[in-house]
């Protein structure tokens, strides 16, 4: 412990070590011992550190957020003491950031990042980590500033490059510049750059720029780097063993009866959907930047396995029908919604987030000249008929017709998932 023990702590070293020995087995007792030391030596970095670790260990054992908050504050206080050895400073700061992130209190991590960077200004890793925290907070503006600074000093840092490119793509919508940074960043093969998000958005930016061959090369590179399941199936939240194929038939799914019932009752669903369309403001515009041009709106009934009670009241018959299918209403990785697309719309090729759901489309109002491509096959909707596909595969939509297209989208768990997986998989 010599490199975490300053001159004054050296004098009470035995006492500190004794308290520390209790940490693993009896964190409560260790806390008492560290508090005793602090009464005599209130500025001891190691005693304060020991107190923080005791609180941290107790928080973990008791699963207590209150204790965790106290631990985060205690770690932070250590950093403000005088004469904290470098090794201790780094350890405490990194643990404090780790716990603040775990707790979801990112704004408490930020000042700790800044202290760490102030102390070790030549360590680019600590600066990249601040950018990561800002990104997790969806604070693209601050993340971009940090990354810009890093790249002005370390222009070849791969981790900063991919994250900077990621922001240019998603926040600035500057596809060309995004491609440049994502591509160069990935090419460094630095730690952290081989990540599906960077491959996905590089490929996507290239597709939108019309550079299809380059996009395909990135997708294949992604498969070789094991970040994609296949060149067409580029979802990032996957259970790897699941059968993946672009198109499904209702007969492929154990609960075929549900889909038969949906088709039999399509007119009831259509009438409710059309009724909703008459009321302004019910349908919400797609906000994920998936359209090249046009108008695409949705009315959500279920999302991530949670019912939108208010919206369901507006179409009770549709909701009652769907509620007979637990794999749909309980699908924490899916949605159930009416989806309306107007003439002149093009939805860019894209992949859903997960291979754990399949997506069914019930045609309700289908003019001619509307198309959906999934992987390499183009089909069309039909009124009263279902299309079932795996939206983790690349898909693209065109409306070249002359009147509104309305469908009901029902996502449901992939039939090969176990009960346990459906219960425990995180929401997407």
For ligand LMR, which residue of 78, 341, 356, 388 counts as binding (CB under 6 A)?
A: 341
Q: What is the pattern of x (binds ligand LMR, CB under 6 A) and - over residues 347-386?
A: x------------------------x--------------
Total chain residues near Mn ion (CB under 5 A): 1
C-beta pairs of 125-128 under 8 Å, 24+ apart in sequence: 127/160, 128/157, 128/159, 128/160, 128/163
Considering beta carbons, is residue 127 or 335 the nearer one to ligand LMR?
A: 335
Of positions 331, 397, 410, 417, contacts ligand LMR by CB under 6 A: 397
CB under 6 A: which stretch of 13-21, 222-230, 253-261, 391-399 binds ligand LMR?
Answer: 391-399
Closest approach of Cβ 21 to ligand LMR, in Å?
Answer: 58
Task: Give which of ligand LMR, Mn ion, none residue 179 binds (C-beta under 5 to 8 Å, depending on kind).
Answer: none
CA dist 105 → 9, 109, 211 (Å): 31, 7, 41
Stretch of 51-59, 111-119, 193-201, 389-397 contacting ligand LMR, by CB under 6 A: 389-397
Compute CA distances 143 → 127, 148, 177, 283, whole Å.
10, 9, 17, 33
In the bound state with Mn ion, the residue whose beta carbon lies nearer, of 70 and 391, is: 391
- Least distance to ligand LMR, CB of residue 273, Å: 12
Backbone angles phi, psi at 410, to 5 degrees: -125, 110
Q: Which is nearer to ligand LMR, 146 or 409 (CB)?
A: 409
Q: Please count the residues of this chain forming the interface with ligand LMR, following the rule CB under 6 A.
A: 8
Q: At what angle do helices 65-80 and 106-119 cross, to 10 degrees?
A: 20
For position 339 contacting ligand LMR by CB under 6 A, the verdict is yes
Cα distance between residue 99 and residue 37, in whole Å = 25
Instruction: Determine the Cα–Cα distance for residues 375 and 231; give it in Å rounded to an integer.
Output: 9
Rounded Cα distance, 274 and 266, in Å: 12
Residue nearest to Mn ion (CB): 391
Q: Which residue is nearest to ligand LMR (CB)?
A: 339
Given Mn ion, ligand LMR, none, residue 397, with its beta carbon under 5 to 8 Å by kind, binds ligand LMR
Between residues 318 and 339, which has the closer beta carbon with respect to ligand LMR? Answer: 339
User: Out of ligand LMR, Mn ion, none, which partner does residue 339 contact, by CB within 5 to 8 A per kind?
Assistant: ligand LMR
Give me the least distance between CB of 197 and ligand LMR, in Å please: 19
CA-to-CA dists, residue 328 to 5, 324, 342, 388, angstroms:
58, 9, 27, 13
Kindly tell me which of 49 and 338 has the beta carbon lying closer to ligand LMR: 338
Residue 156 C-beta: closest distance to ligand LMR, Å: 38
| Residue burial 30-53, b: 16+ Cβ < 10 Å; e: rest | bbebbeebeeebeebbbbbbbbbb
Interaction with Mn ion in 385-404: which residues (CB under 5 A)? 391
Residues in the chain: 428
By CB under 6 A, residue 388 contacts ligand LMR: no
The SS3 call for residue 245 is: coil
Q: Does 329 bind ligand LMR (CB under 6 A)?
A: no
Q: Radius of gyration of the chain from Cα atoms?
A: 27
Q: What's the closest the beta carbon of residue 236 comes to ligand LMR, in angstroms? A: 16
Q: How many beta carbons lie within 10 A of that of residue 198, not counting itself?
A: 26
Q: Which stretch binds Mn ion (CB under 5 A): 157-165, 174-182, 384-392, 408-416?
A: 384-392
User: Left if phi > 0, otherwise alpha if psi is -120 to 50, otherwise beta: which for 286?
Assistant: beta
Residue 361 makes CB contacts below 8 A (sequence gap 6+) with 339, 372, 381, 386, 387, 388, 389, 407, 408, 409
| 391: contact with ligand LMR by CB under 6 A | yes
- Complex with ligand LMR: residue 101 or 373, whichever CB lies closer: 373
Note whether 300 binds ligand LMR by CB under 6 A: no
Other beta carbons less than 10 A from residue 25's beta carbon: 9
74 versus 397: smaller Cβ distance to ligand LMR: 397
- Partners of 389 in beta bridges: 247, 359
**Contact at 8 Å (CB) between 122 and 150?**
no
Q: Are 244 and 261 in contact (CB under 8 A)?
A: no
Which residue ranges make up the site for ligand LMR (CB under 6 A)?
339, 341, 347, 372, 391, 395, 397, 407
Which residue ranges make up the site for Mn ion (CB under 5 A)?
391
């Amino acid at each position: 412990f010599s490199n975490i023990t300053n001159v004054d702590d050296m004098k009470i070293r035995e006492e500190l070590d004794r308290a520390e020995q209790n940490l693993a087995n009896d964190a409560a007792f260790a806390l008492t011992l560290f508090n005793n030391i602090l009464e005599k030596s209130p500025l001891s970095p190691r005693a304060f550190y020991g107190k923080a670790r005791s609180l941290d260990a107790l928080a973990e054992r008791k699963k207590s957020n209150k204790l965790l908050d106290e631990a985060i504050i205690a770690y932070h206080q250590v950093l403000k003491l005088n004469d904290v050895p470098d090794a201790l400073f780094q350890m405490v700061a990194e643990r404090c950031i780790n716990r603040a992130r775990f707790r979801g209190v990112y704004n408490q991590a930020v000042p700790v990042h800044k202290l760490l960077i102030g102390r070790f200004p030549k360590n680019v890793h600590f600066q990249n980590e601040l950018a990561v925290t800002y990104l997790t907070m969806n604070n693209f503006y601050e993340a971009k500033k940090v990354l810009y600074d890093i790249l002005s000093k370390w222009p070849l840092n791969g981790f900063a490059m991919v994250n900077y490119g990621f922001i240019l793509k998603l926040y600035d919508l500057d596809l060309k510049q995004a491609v440049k940074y994502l591509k160069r960043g990935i090419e460094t093969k630095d730690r952290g750059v081989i990540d599906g998000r960077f491959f996905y958005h590089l490929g996507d930016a290239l597709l939108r720029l019309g550079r299809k061959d380059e996009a395909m090369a990135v997708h294949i590179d992604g498969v070789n780097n094991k970040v994609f399941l296949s060149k067409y199936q580029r979802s990032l939240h996957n259970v790897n063993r699941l059968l993946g194929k672009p198109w499904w038939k209702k007969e492929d799914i154990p609960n075929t009866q549900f889909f038969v019932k949906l088709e039999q009752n399509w007119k009831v669903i259509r009438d409710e959907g059309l009724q909703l369309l008459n009321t302004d403001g019910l349908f919400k515009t797609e906000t994920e930047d998936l359209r090249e041009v046009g108008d695409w709106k949705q009315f959500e009934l279920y999302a991530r396995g949670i019912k939108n009670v208010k919206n369901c009241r507006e179409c009770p018959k549709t909701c009652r029908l769907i509620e007979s299918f637990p794999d749909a209403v309980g699908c924490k990785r899916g949605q159930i919604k009416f989806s309306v697309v107007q003439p002149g719309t093009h939805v860019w090729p894209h992949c859903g987030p997960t291979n754990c759901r399949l997506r069914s489309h019930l045609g309700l109002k289908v003019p001619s000249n509307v198309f959906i491509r999934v992987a390499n096959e183009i089909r069309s909707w039909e009124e009263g008929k279902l299309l079932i596909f795996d939206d983790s595969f690349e898909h693209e939509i065109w409306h070249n017709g002359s009147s509104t297209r309305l469908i009901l989208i029902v996502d449901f768990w992939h039939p090969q998932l176990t009960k346990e997986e459906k219960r425990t998989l995180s929401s997407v």
